[in-house]
Amino acid sequence: MSFHDDVSEPADPQPTTLDDLAGALENVARVLAENEPRHRGIWRRQAVYAHVHHAIAHLSVWVEGRRLEDLEHAAVRALLALQRALEEAAG
């Protein structure tokens, strides 16, 4: 199965841009700010694998309960994993 298999509607003629993610990115910023007092920057030191594993855990919980909070936290962890991977790739 491909990730593209679930696309059932014709493509929108308008390109997808960062503007389409504005609400999601605002929620990511909120989650980071709300959790910073507890984590105190540790997220920047965790390994890519740790962030990916944590994102998968949040997505698994989301599948069961469909809580927005779980998607928000999964998005944060996925972005943190990407950032750490980019940093590692840059050396």
pLDDT digits (tens, 9 = 90+) for 15-51: 889 999 999 999 999 999 999 888 888 888 899 999 9
Which pTM value belongs to this model?
Answer: 0.81
Q: In the chain, where are the structural domains located? A: 20-90
**Which residues are CB-neighbours of 25 under 8 A, at least 6 positions away?**
18
Mapping DSSP onto H, E and C, the string for the chain reads: CCHHHHCCCCCCCCCCCHHHHHHHHHHHHHHHHHHHHHHCCHHHHCCHHHHHHHHHHHHHHHHHHCCHHHHHHHHHHHHHHHHHHHHHHHC
